[in-house]
A and B are shown apart, each in its own frame.
Chain A
Amino acid sequence: NAGVTQTPKFQVLKTGQSMTLQCAQDMNHEYMSWYRQDPGMGLRLIHYSVGAGITDQGEVPNGYNVSRSTTEDFPLRLLSAAPSQTSVYFCASSSTLLASGNSYEQYFGPGTRLTVT
């Protein structure tokens, strides 16, 4: 199992450019989510999905779009990058089956470090 994979690892964008951060998981997890990590603020939820075709907003969704056409993939799109979106982005996934000891434990990818100039 590769677990949760993210590409690219690093990206530099100019203000106004668009791009897609890729996330894939091979654990057949229904739940997937995107977080951004900023110094002193922990991780904040951007968008999440409980299954293919279903997405919803998290705490900080503005400026980001998501879609979920398959169970495996959950890309995050920046429509028009702004310097305030400079951050480290993490994708995570979890089973939604409350099996014994599961407790919706989330598995994280290695992150994408994005700089917007």
Chain B
Amino acid sequence: AQSVTQLGSHVSVSEGALVLLRCNYSSSVPPYLFWYVQYPNQGLQLLLKYTSAATLVKGINGFEAEFKKSETSFHLTKPSAHMSDAAEYFCAVSARSDYKLSFGAGTTVTVRA
């Protein structure tokens, strides 16, 4: 079974500072990995996904994530935070043989002016 751990339920950053959101997964084989963003009172939007091609994955809105098999991690970064990045972020994993997603508990990002 797949599982995901997101370290830190809340992250506060200054505008222009680095955003780093941590995600570790548990899987017996390399899975598919996803980061989703949820703005207040909205559904989930895919930021980026890892499908076993490049280990450094670029997504929308300037976000990227690096798949590190040795560390079973898929941390999300953005070099310079904008006020519009304030949202909740979810890491999710699925087995390659399955369609079901397992989500982390989420990390809420606030951006200080």
> Which residues does A use to contact B, with CB under 8 Å?
4, 31, 33, 35, 40-45, 48, 50, 58, 90, 92, 94, 96, 101-111
Q: How many A-B residue pairs have CB under 8 A?
A: 61
Given known A-B contacts A40-B9, A96-B99, A110-B43, A104 and B94 have beta carbons under 8 A apart: yes
Complex: how many Å from CA A40 to CA B104? 9
Q: How far is the CA of A24 from the CA of B44 in the complex (A)?
A: 16
> What residues make up the interface of B, taking CB atoms closer than 8 Å to A?
4, 9, 32, 34, 36, 42-46, 49, 51, 53, 90, 92, 94, 98-106
Give 3 nearest A-B pairs by CB, closest first.
Answer: A42-B103, A103-B51, A108-B43
Q: Which of A42, A94, A111 contacts B105 (CB 8 A)?
A: A42
Q: Which residues of A contact B53 (CB under 8 A)?
A: 101
